[in-house]
Amino acid sequence: MFASRARWQRSALLFAGGALAAFIANLSFTIWATTRPGSNIRGGVGVLSEETTCTRAKTINTAVHVAINVLSTVLLAGSNYCMQCLSAPTRRQIDEAHRVGRWVDVGVQSVRNLVFAVSGRNALLWVLLSLSSLPLHLFYNSAIFTSLSTNEYNITVVPSTFLEPNRATLPTYLLTPHLTNLYDAIHTGVLHRLDLQLCVDTYSTNFQSSHGDLLIVTSAPTTANHHANENITSASSYPATYALDNLGCGIRQAYQWMCSQAGDAGTVCAAPCEDSVGKYRADPASWTPLGVQEVGACYALPTPERCKLLFSPMLCWIVTALNLVKAGLMVATAFWGAGQDRLILTVGDAVASFMEHPDEATVDMCLASKQDVIKSTGFWSKEPRKISSWRRSKFAAASPTRWMVCVLLYIVALIACIFLYGLGVNSIGGDKSFSSLMALGLAPVSSKTLMQVFDLRGGDDNLLSNVVIANSPQAILSMLYFTYNGLFTSISLATEWDSYATHRKGLRVSSKPIPHQRSTYFLQLPYRYSLPLLVTSGLLHWLISQSIFLVFVEIYRDSVESITSVTNTTRPVDNFTTCGWSPVGVITVIAIGFAMVILLLGSGTRRLSSTMPVAGSCSAAIAAACHPPPLSMSSTSFEGGMRGHCSFSAGEVGVPRRGVWYS
């Protein structure tokens, strides 16, 4: 049964099989992920794995998204293939259009055909395939994502006498319950000593995932000031100050306390600590956090990194359902796309059909270009026309409108990327040099590159909103791929048509070729174009997933008291969802986008090999060149004053001569 079907139907069924395999993989994964004991689904987010380091979690996440984008690229290619088949006309539909003076497109995906030529069932399947791609690309890349852990911590300042081994010698203001716990933690090894260099390096990060509570020891003279909201002196405690919200400077300046000085409350946020912390890294002895002089050492509470690989059950089920819909639509295309008639999928199909059964509406039109047909009012003109003596560029393969729409869409998308990149860089605090931005790498989960579109403390409610923001470029890229692929298909079509004027060759058809005919490419597009385009599309989808991505941050509270408590828990105390972006990724996407535009325009400037009128995808222009003379005559013969005749022919042909009329 499979072997008896047309080749395009077998290809559509193979794509449907690929979509079905992806559906089975997605369904199996979703069932496993949602039912496994450790999934711990809360607030619409479940756990796939808890990794020992955030680097490992990022590596696994990258590998997962490579696999996701391979699957989505296969689905995109299958959709494009089936949509082109659904918009392809049959010979009967072409004849019906020609009888009323209307032409249809051959060999390219065509909205014109959907409106004027093909059946309503085909048009409906085409629309459904197109619409199913939008939500699939919106949700697929965000169904699985990583979490970043960060710790809220207390910063406590004590004099060097706090380190004395005999607690009885300590003054009473150093014997509060909190300080007593810190004292015990130092002498039992719960707090680890950090020298100044390591202390500055460790805590100068907005997402502190490896250490918690910090004890700063100073050797400066001390006083007993306990007013947390006043100027900080060397003997005071700075209690219950969480690094995430410290000093009200926001998440992008969570370690601003490291650069704040006594008396600068209210102005400390104006100059990001990222701009000045470098001098403390170079000279730790000059570090005066919170106005504290003569910092001697730090004692920090080490905590495990808690980065996780997470998933959204809701998004997984949506992607799985859409995957099944895709597979079903592809199967429907294979079984119902053509009805009982044979589709005209390539120029070779059209020429073979018109040679076997010449089209009555285009008799005596001779060689006509697509523009000749478009310019004709009513039925097409059969008056002799002058054929140009110069070779056209491949820009003539498609209409100026189609070229402008495609190039303009790409230019607008690239300008938008450049504009958003500029806004993103402008919002980054601290060093904005190109080298520092490149050092962030792909998909950096850094507070420098977080997009504060929504309230960061909005919890899980922002998940879907951020998913749409993160994946909107994926849907836009899919639309750009269709327009780009369509334009390259038109160039390929015009090149093949032109080649018949210079070389004798068999027709390339989509059905099983008979002797002297050739097999089709990926429909009308040669593999040397279709495969690189497909790979580039997959690469761009992956790069975009690493350029703007979902960020899920879990906030932990590991204090000295909680570590030593029997009720100690590793659950986060809060979380927030937002989007992150990658300067490296955006620049790479922009560079590839410009290269694609240059390649397209460069292909358009190349000259065709002959002066043969460019028929493009116009069925009437193709049909006009397919009225072969009797076998006793050549296709460009003339005798005496007789008019010559130009046509495709299986017989001997010659080159048209200057000064001779041809029909």
Beta bridge partners of 308: 50, 147
Average pLDDT, the chain: 80
Q: Are 278 and 289 in contact (CB under 8 A)?
A: no
> In the prediction, which pLDDT does 236 show?
40
pLDDT bracket for residue 23 (50, 70, 90):
very high
pLDDT bracket for residue 596 (50, 70, 90):
very high
> In the prediction, which pLDDT does 360 show?
87
Could you tell me which residues come within 8 angstroms of residue 243 by beta carbon, excluding any fewer than 6 positions away?
150, 151, 152, 153, 155, 208, 254, 255, 257
**Span 644-652, average pLDDT:** 71
Query: Any idea which of 72-81, 222-231, 306-315 has the lowest mean pLDDT?
Result: 222-231
> In the prediction, which pLDDT does 458 show?
46
CA count, 13 A, side-chain hemisphere, 515: 1
> In the prediction, which pLDDT does 653 show?
67
**Span 213-239, average pLDDT:** 52
**Token pair belonging to 157:** 């300042």
> In the prediction, which pLDDT does 644 show?
62
pLDDT bracket for residue 460 (50, 70, 90):
very low
- Residue 217: is its pLDDT beyond 80? yes
pLDDT digits (tens, 9 = 90+) for 608-626: 888 888 888 899 989 988 8
CA–CA separation, 207 and 203 (whole Å): 9
**500, 541, 503, 508: which is closest to 526 by C-alpha?**
508
> In the prediction, which pLDDT does 297 show?
86
- Higher pLDDT pick, 394 / 641: 394
Query: Any idea which of 195-209, 401-415, 500-514, 538-552 has the lowest mean pLDDT?
Result: 500-514
The runs of H, that is alpha helices, within 100-176 are 111-116, 120-139
pLDDT digits (tens, 9 = 90+) for 484-525: 988 888 898 888 888 888 877 778 777 765 655 556 655 667
Q: Are 368 and 613 in contact (CB under 8 A)?
A: yes
| 425: exposed, middle or buried (Cβ count in 10 Å: 0-12, 13-18, 19+) | middle
CA–CA separation, 190 and 194 (whole Å): 13
CA–CA separation, 479 and 485 (whole Å): 10
> In the prediction, which pLDDT does 235 show?
35
CA–CA separation, 417 and 581 (whole Å): 12
- Residue 2: is its pLDDT beyond 60? no
CA–CA separation, 453 and 427 (whole Å): 12
pLDDT digits (tens, 9 = 90+) for 242-290: 344 555 666 667 788 888 775 555 566 667 777 778 888 888 888 888 7
CA–CA separation, 547 and 473 (whole Å): 10
- Residue 165: is its pLDDT beyond 60? yes
Could you tell me which residues come within 8 angstroms of residue 176 by beta carbon, excluding any fewer than 6 positions away?
237
> In the prediction, which pLDDT does 174 show?
77
> In the prediction, which pLDDT does 229 show?
33
Which of 23-27, 220-224, 622-626 has the highest average model confidence (pLDDT)? 23-27
pLDDT bracket for residue 306 (50, 70, 90):
confident
- Residue 412: is its pLDDT beyond 90? yes
> In the prediction, which pLDDT does 429 show?
65
pLDDT bracket for residue 324 (50, 70, 90):
very high
CA–CA separation, 606 and 614 (whole Å): 14
**288, 227, 235: which is closest to 262 by C-alpha?**
288
CA–CA separation, 345 and 34 (whole Å): 44
Q: Which residue has the tokens 């001997």?
A: 652
Q: Is the dihedral of CA 222, 223, 224, 230 positive or negative?
A: negative
> In the prediction, which pLDDT does 648 show?
77
Q: Are 106 and 306 in contact (CB under 8 A)?
A: no
- Residue 237: is its pLDDT beyond 50? no
- Residue 414: is its pLDDT beyond 90? yes
| DSSP class per residue in 10-43 | HHHHHHHHHHHHHHHHHHHHHHHHHHSGGG--BT
Could you tell me which residues come within 8 angstroms of residue 260 by beta carbon, excluding any fewer than 6 positions away?
247, 268, 289, 290, 291
The model carries a pTM of: 0.78
Query: Any idea which of 53-57, 476-480, 510-514, 528-532 has the lowest mean pLDDT?
Result: 510-514
pLDDT bracket for residue 181 (50, 70, 90):
confident
- Higher pLDDT pick, 231 / 210: 210
**Token pair belonging to 452:** 């504060």
Q: Is the dihedral of CA 645, 648, 650, 656 positive or negative?
A: positive
- Residue 393: is its pLDDT beyond 60? yes
Written as one letter, the residue type at 336 is: W
CA–CA separation, 208 and 284 (whole Å): 19
The runs of H, that is alpha helices, within 500-634 are 527-547, 560-563, 583-605, 619-624
> In the prediction, which pLDDT does 340 show?
65
**Span 552-576, average pLDDT:** 71
- Residue 195: is its pLDDT beyond 80? yes
What kind and span of H or E run contains 334? helix 313-336
**Token pair belonging to 484:** 């780009």
Percent of the chain predicted with pLDDT > 70: 80
> In the prediction, which pLDDT does 243 show?
43
The three-class DSSP label of residue 233 is coil
- Residue 400: is its pLDDT beyond 60? yes
- Complete edge-to-edge strand list for the sheet that includes strand 211-218: 192-194, 295-302, 211-218, 155-159, 237-238
Beta bridge partners of 309: 49, 146
- Residue 128: is its pLDDT beyond 90? yes
Q: Which residue has the tokens 């082109």?
A: 84
Percent of the chain predicted with pLDDT > 90: 19
pLDDT bracket for residue 96 (50, 70, 90):
very high
548-556 vs 144-151, strand pairing mode: parallel
CA–CA separation, 346 and 106 (whole Å): 6
